Amino acid sequence: MQDKQPCDGKELICINVDKVYDWIVKENSFDLSPTGAQSFPRVTAMTNLEGATVTCDVAPAASNPIIILHREDRPFCIDGKTVCLQQLTIQKNFVVTIIVTLPNGTMFTSAEIPVSRCEQVTLCAPEGTEVEVTYTELDCFVCTTGRLTAGDQTITFGALSLSVTTCQSIQSTFPVTVEFLADFCEPREEIPTMCPAPMRPKQCPSVFPHEGHGHGNCCH
C-alpha cells in the first residue's frame, strides 16, 4: 500500500456522503373532491356558517411520505447510445386540512384528510439506490365549496373541490465514502467585549443646587 502524504499542509480526509445518481425537477398538480361530512372538532349544529370563507393547507405525511411501488429497467437512446434507466412508480402521501373562517374571524380547522397520489418518473436509480423527494413548492387552494351545512363536529360541503400544486426535486442517491485533500478549519478569534464606563444620569443644575431658585431655563 502506497503512503499518501499530505500536500501543502492539507490533510487527506475520508468522509461518508450521499452520491447523487440522478436529479430532476418536476411539476405536478392534482385535484381532489372530498365527499360526505368532514370532521371539524369545534363546530356545533348551531354554528352559523353564513358568509364563511374556505381555504386549505397541504403537507407531506409524517409517516411514509414517499413509497417506491415499482422499479423497472428501461432502455433509452441518449446521444446515439443505448442506456439503461429505471422507470419508478412513486406513491406520494399527503395530509390536507380545510380551514373555515367566519366573518368575525373565528377559524375552524378540519381533521387531517389523508391523500395519496401516484406518478411515474424515469431516473438513473438502479436497485439499491434511495429516492428522495423535496418539495420546493407545495400549495393547496379551494376551487368550489357549495353550500356549507354545520353538524355536530362536522361540516358538509355541497360541492367541495380542492387543487394541490407541487414543484418537486427528485433525486436518486446512494451512500459512498470519498477522499480528498482539505485544510482543517480553525476557530475564529473571539470578539472582544469591553465593559462600558459608568454612566451618570443628566443633572438639573438650574434646579439643584442653585442659590437663586427660579432663574433657571424653562422647557417649553
Domains identified in the chain, total number: 1
Residue 196 confidence (pLDDT) = 74
- Please check whether residue 213 lies inside any domain of the structure: no
Residue 7: phi and psi, rounded to 5, are: -130, 125
- Distance CA(143)–CA(166), nearest Å, equals 16
Is 60 part of a structural domain of the chain?
yes
> So what's the pLDDT on residue 216?
47
Four-residue CA torsion sign, 29, 166, 66, 114? negative
Query: Which is it for the CA torsion 112, 113, 114, 118, positive or negative?
Result: negative
Position 121 scores a pLDDT of 93
Cβ–Cβ < 8 Å for 68, 76: no
Cβ distance 176 to 17 under 8 Å? yes
Cell of 61: 405525511
In a domain, 1, yes or no: no
Domain contains 216: no
Residues of the domain holding 134: 17-178
Return the pLDDT at 186: 79
The predicted structure's pLDDT at residue 213: 52
Q: How far is CA 44 from CA 47, 50, 79, 97, 165, in A?
A: 5, 14, 64, 18, 32
Cα 65–Cα 68–Cα 73 angle in degrees, nearest 5: 155
Question: Is residue 55 domain-resident?
Answer: yes
Model-wide pTM > 0.85: no
E-strand ranges in 45-160 read 53-60, 66-78, 81-101, 107-109, 113-123, 130-144, 148-151, 154-157
- Residue 7: per-residue pLDDT: 55
Residues in a beta bridge with 164 = 30, 140
pLDDT score of 205: 74
Residue 12 lies in a domain: no
Q: Which residues of the chain are modeled with pLDDT < 50?
A: 1, 215-218, 220
Asked if 110 and 140 count as a contact pair (C-beta separation under 8 A), the reply is no
Q: What share of the chain is helix, strand, coil (3-state, %, to 5)?
A: 0, 55, 45
The answer to the question of residue 185 being in a domain is no
* CA 158 to chain CA mean position, Å: 32
Q: What is the CA radius of gyration of the chain?
A: 32
Report H helices in 27-137: none
The verdict on residue 38 lying in a domain is yes
